Amino acid sequence: QVQVAESGGGLVQVGGSMRLSCAASGRTFSTSVMGWFRQAPGKEREFVAAIRWSVDSTYVADSVKGRFTISRDSAKNTVYLQMNGLKPEDTAVYYCAAARRSPATTQGDYTYWGRGTQVTVSS
């Protein structure tokens, strides 16, 4: 089993920045990719970004490209989502997840999920 836990959410003003963290524990060697998804009220959960543990390969959704950056610290089994230039439409619960195989850009690709962290962008 793999456990995934997000942290770093909260309230931020439009145009501000925020960094989310995702710590993975347990049998992390069984996972290949870590990803971030988000779900706004009344909307479907959508892919945000993903990164592979073993190589410098990232995937970023077009909706956040140029504003959001995903990175990892393999020694700490931690993945980060740096969010800049935040907009009200970025308000959502952000979920971190782990996948066994790459590529992984859809919900079905991921096996282990965190409980989510709320990000609210205030105007």
What digits encode the pLDDT tens for the residues 6-42?
A: 999 999 999 999 999 999 998 888 888 999 999 999 9
- Which one-letter DSSP state was computed for residue 27? S
Give me the mean pLDDT over the 46-72 stretch.
94
Q: What percent of the chain has pLDDT over 90?
A: 85
Give me the mean pLDDT over the 42-57 stretch.
93
Q: Please tell me the predicted confidence (pLDDT) of residue 8.
A: 96
Rounded to 5 degrees, φ, ψ at 117 are -135, 135
Residues 86 and 16: beta-carbon distance below 8 Å: yes
pLDDT band at 55 (very low <50, low <70, confident <90, very high): confident
Cross-strand pairs, 75:
none
